[in-house]
Amino acid sequence: MMLRIDEKRLLNNLNSLAQIGCTPDGGVSRPALSEADAAGRAWFKRKVQEAGLTFHADEAGNLSAILPAANPDARTLLAGSHLDSVPNGGRFDGALGVLAALEALQTIKEAGLSLPVHLEAISFTDEEGSVVGMLGSRALTGQFAEADLEQARLGQEELSAGLPRLNLVRSDIHLARRNPETLAGYVELHIEQGTRLEEAGLQIGVVTSIVGIRSFWLDFAGQAAHAGTTPMDKRADALWGAANFVLQAKELVMAQFSPGVVNCGQLIVQPGNFNIVPARVRLSLEFRHGSEDTLDEMEVALLTLAANIADQHHLSFSSEPAGNCIAAPMNPRLIQAVEQAATQLELRHTRLLSLAGHDAQTLSPFTPSVLYFVPSVDGISHNPREYTRDEDVINGANVMLHTLLILAENAS
């Protein structure tokens, strides 16, 4: 009979973690560096220690449970995801991947198996981007510098208040970098956050490539003015320009760049009074596509559109990059290992593209990486109603267990 994870323990752990930063409607708010993030981390450390695994925290706040191989010079096979959430998000995004990896290690330890690689279940800091996005996986792979914090999305004040909560020191974060020769690969389980598996009646989706994501801050600047005495046709209302861009960017991407997507998720008006014509709008822009060439085309088209709209409304326009995650193909050998595990477990699986960024994207140029999905009910995610059925949670963790065993065997 095949080895299986402890279903009840895994479901209990998922439920217990979801109480930390829980929202009244059953969701989770655990943004990186928040008090809730710090509490979630303390909970994870306890669980690692209860499991009899070795706890480790690096300079970037990445937290690990380690099941050492007999040979101290063995390479390390990583498995994990992230414990942070978006504000008012769901309980599965990230948490499932970390807890499934922890559960797999605990199962292997309890089975008394001796493997030729160290196994490390890891939670990466700030995947969701409260700070800079994938801070932890970027630091581990040498793709982070202290200067990156100057663009911290939560602002310098919140950043300075938040870093000590995680025992982080600005100037030390880059020291989390590892030597890729010490690593044997990275495996990540995540919820799909879409409806393709559910609609096709499948249980496991193995990702062949993760979309690239580019983001920008757009600034539309007009003229503050009295909202009564300034004639409508004499106003340089920054919100008129930004509103026009939000609508036209949507039309442009749907018409010309499908299946690429675009989102304007934040819009800040200054001075922001009932009776003052908006002087300035700062708008966040993010767009995604599986091809880097198409991302180049989208960038030109969207920034040109914004500049043209600003002109029409007598506004000035500027933009600054706020993030760039390149499209990331997954490793064929690791893809096959996940498929083999799913087949052994008699689970219906398929290959697909990931439209969301994940830590596996950052890891993939550094060490052989793979990402796979279990279904999300109705595809809802980044929302308190995010939900994945117990049986899919369990399937995902069992695939993790056997993928690690297959890769460990082949690494010997």
Interface contacts to a copy of itself, rule CB under 8 A: 86-88, 128-129, 153, 192-195, 211, 213, 215, 223-234, 237, 239-240, 242-244, 246-247, 250, 253-254, 258-259, 261-267, 269, 271-279, 284, 286, 288, 322-323, 355-357, 379-383
- Residue 358 φ then ψ, to 5°: -150, 165
**Of residues 211, 138, 147, the one with CA closest to residue 178:** 138
Question: At closest approach, how far in Å is the CB of 110 from a copy of itself?
Answer: 35
Residue 234 has phi, psi (to 5 degrees) of -110, 5
State the minimum distance, in angstroms, from the CB of residue 230 to a copy of itself. 7
Q: Are strands 183-191 and 369-374 parallel, antiparallel or unpaired?
A: parallel
Least gap, CB of 364 to a copy of itself (angstroms): 17
**Whole-angstrom distance, CA of residue 186 vs CA of residue 79:** 5
Q: How far is the CB of 407 from a copy of itself (least distance, A)?
A: 27
Distance CA 107, CA 58 (A): 24
Q: How many C-beta atoms surround the C-beta of residue 177 within 10 A?
A: 18
What is the Cα–Cα distance from 191 to 85, expressed in whole angstroms? 13
Q: Which is nearer to a copy of itself, 279 or 393 (CB)?
A: 279
Closest CA to 324 of 214, 212, 218, 217: 214
Query: CB of residue 175 vs a copy of itself: minimum separation in angstroms?
Result: 27
CB of 277 to a copy of itself, least distance (A): 6
Q: Which of 209, 321, 32, 135 is nearest to 40 (CA)?
A: 32
Dihedral class, residue 126 (left if φ above 0, else alpha if ψ from -120 to 50, else beta): left
Please tell me what DSSP assigns to residue 84: -
User: How is 313-381 classified by DSSP, letter by letter?
Assistant: TT-EEEEEEEEEE--EEPPHHHHHHHHHHHHHTT--EEEEEE-S--HHHHHTTTS-EEEEEE--GGG--
Of 310 and 406, nearer to a copy of itself (C-beta) is: 310
Q: Of 129 and 185, which has the nearer Cβ to a copy of itself?
A: 129
Select 259 or 365, whichever has its Cβ closest to a copy of itself: 259
Amino acid in position 303: L
For residue 130, the minimal CB distance to a copy of itself (Å) is: 8
Least distance to a copy of itself from the beta carbon of 341, Å? 24
Place of tokens 């599965």: 92
Is the Cβ of residue 172 or residue 299 nearer to a copy of itself in the bound state?
299
Q: Which two tokens stand for residue 113?
A: 């198996």
CA distances from 391 to 11, 180, 323 (A): 10, 35, 36
Whichever of 171 and 229 has its CB closer to a copy of itself, that residue is 229
Least distance (Å) from a copy of itself to the CB of residue 291? 15
CB of 209 to a copy of itself, least distance (A): 13
Task: Indicate the residue among 115 and 306 with the shorter CB distance to a copy of itself.
Answer: 306
User: Of 175 and 247, which has the nearer Cβ to a copy of itself?
Assistant: 247
Nearer to a copy of itself by C-beta: 182 or 312? 312
Q: Which is nearer to a copy of itself, 177 or 280 (CB)?
A: 280
Task: Give the span between the Cα atoms of 75 and 191, in whole angstroms.
Answer: 28
- Residues 6 or more apart whose Cβ sits within 8 Å of residue 29: 21, 22, 23, 36, 85, 87, 88, 89
